[in-house]
Amino acid sequence: MGVVISALFIWLALRGLKLDAFWETLIHADYIWLLPGIAVYFIAVWVRAWRWHYLLRPVKQVPTRTMFPIVAIGYAGNNIFPARAGEVLRAVVLKRREGVSVSASLATVIVERIFDGVVMLAFVFLNLPELAKLASSDSGFVGDIQTLAMWGAGAFVGALAAFLLAAMFPRVTARVGLRLVYRLLPRRLHERTIGIMNKFLDGLASLRSPFNALMVFLTSVIIWLLETGKYWFVMHAFSFQVSFFALMLMNGIVNLATTIPSAPGYIGTFDAPGIAVLTAYGVEQATAVGYTLVLHAALWLPITALGLYYMAREGIKWSDSLRAETRD
């Protein structure tokens, strides 16, 4: 199904593309600008590792330098394996290395993704008025983004509220969870499910402090501003200029779109929305396609290579046992 969705998005992105102009764009690009972009991106990954260390601190103190390779492994997993298996993979690797339960790790990973989604929506809402001025009123593009943003805001804010309440009232949450377990699941699954639920609640402990929740949010903003910085550096390799705010909008939209099931590496779901945003800002289609595909490759290749290097260095293989742990 993901492959079909990716193929559809690729068709939407590339239809009507003039290949001669596209190749000219790639040939004349100044690829030296990718180097500072990649450097800024790796700083953002380091900040992600620090944020994960911060979220896991109530469960176990794990240094950021230990978390960074595991985060890189997770990125590689997301880029290569289907269904965002990298998120579970890094929880499994952390359990193997530090003894942190997979349930607690996954709780923090989900919290990360919720905060990421809230920041992405903030990027979109912040820049929608500017895009509305540029896009034609009959294109429907801005209206589609507004509708998507409203639904996304409801989903992410609702999820964030639920997790904050679960973190602040763990006993009440545990009692409600116990009732659901006893009513909905067969007895043979009760003990294991309750154990997973309790460890999952342990993973939310960092959100019990308003200061901690604010720190996670601010860290998330820094992460995505740094990633937008990569968009900005890569833009200088091509013959167009848009504002940093326009790239924030592009970043927000493409990363929200990558939540749609797709082939590994977010093929198509990253590219089509990014190209649509740039063309709405008046960028020629060939330039928008060239920039977006090069940006996608620059986001995908370095972190995937680094993650695979760390997997090899740690002796981690995509074996049957690891596959079974990840699937469980």
Query: What's 274-321 look like in SS3?
Result: HHHHHHHCCCCHHHHHHHHHHHHHHHHHHHHHHHHHHHHHCCCCCCHH
Whether the CB-CB separation of 207 and 163 falls below 8 Å is answered with: yes
Q: Which residues are CB-contacts of 131 (< 8 A; sequence separation ≥ 6)?
A: 142, 145, 246, 249, 277, 280, 281
CA distance 66 to 86: 17
Q: Which residue has the tokens 């609640």?
A: 201
CA distance 121 to 299: 20
Give domain limits for the chain. 2-327
Whether the CB-CB separation of 119 and 221 falls below 8 Å is answered with: yes
Q: Which residue has the tokens 């699954």?
A: 189
Count other C-beta atoms under 10 Å from residue 158's C-beta: 11
Q: What's the pLDDT at 137? A: 43
| Nearest CA-CA partner of 250 in 113, 145, 151, 328 | 145
% helix / strand / coil in the chain, to the nearest 5?
80, 0, 20
Q: What's the pLDDT at 321? A: 56
Q: Where are the alpha helices (DSSP H) in the chain?
A: 2-14, 19-27, 34-56, 64-80, 85-98, 102-134, 141-168, 170-184, 190-202, 210-235, 244-257, 271-280, 285-313, 320-327
Tokens of 187: 């007895």
Q: How far is CA 55 from CA 76, 124, 209, in A?
A: 21, 26, 11
Give the Cα-Cα-Cα angle 201, 205, 206 (nearest 5 degrees): 140
CA distance 92 to 38: 27
Q: What is the tens place of the pLDDT at every residue in 23-62?
A: 999 999 999 999 999 999 999 999 999 999 989 988 899 9
Dmax of the chain from CA atoms? 66
For each successive 10 residues of the chain (328 residues), what is the average pLDDT?
A: 85 89 95 97 97 90 94 92 84 90 87 89 82 55 62 75 82 86 83 79 80 90 97 96 93 88 88 90 93 97 95 74 56
Q: What's the pLDDT at 139? A: 46
CA distance 232 to 40: 10
CA distance 231 to 242: 11
Whether the CB-CB separation of 76 and 308 falls below 8 Å is answered with: yes
